[in-house]
Amino acid sequence: MGCGQTLFLGLGGHVTCSLIGCPSPDAVALILADPETEHLVDFSDHDFTILHPLRERLEEDQGGLWGCVIHRQIQALAGRPMPPGRYRVRQHPGYLGYEAVPR
């Protein structure tokens, strides 16, 4: 949406876009309100997608989104580690832990 310079802090502390015609003026507030702090991975029959936690955007010295260890580990697997579905994934020493999450 490119709100950047049109964002402001509104009443009640909600970040809002002031651009007339913005398709989702509350987008930033919705993103910040999401309580999820771990990676969410959707496995399909043939591939996977990852929703990365916001903190990875700030971890540039550790690779951030571009160097995501969880993504690299899943990509290196010979096949899907879990049945199709959505999972919260946590990195543990030597392995990844998967917890089923409803879609």
Q: How far apart are CA 101 and CA 96, in angstroms?
A: 15
User: Which pLDDT tens digit goes with each residue over 9-48?
Assistant: 988 888 999 999 999 998 988 888 889 999 999 999 999 9
Tell me the mean pLDDT in the region 73-100.
94
The more confident residue out of 79 and 64 is 79
pLDDT of residue 2: 63
**CA–CA dist 4, 1 (Å, integer):** 9
Residue with the two structure tokens 């997608």: 49
- Whole-angstrom distance, CA of residue 51 vs CA of residue 101: 13
Please give the pLDDT value at position 88. 97
Per-residue model confidence (pLDDT) at position 63: 61
For residue 37, the tally of other CB atoms under 10 A from its CB is: 10
The token pair at 57 is 């955007």
Q: How far apart are the first and last CA of the chain?
A: 25
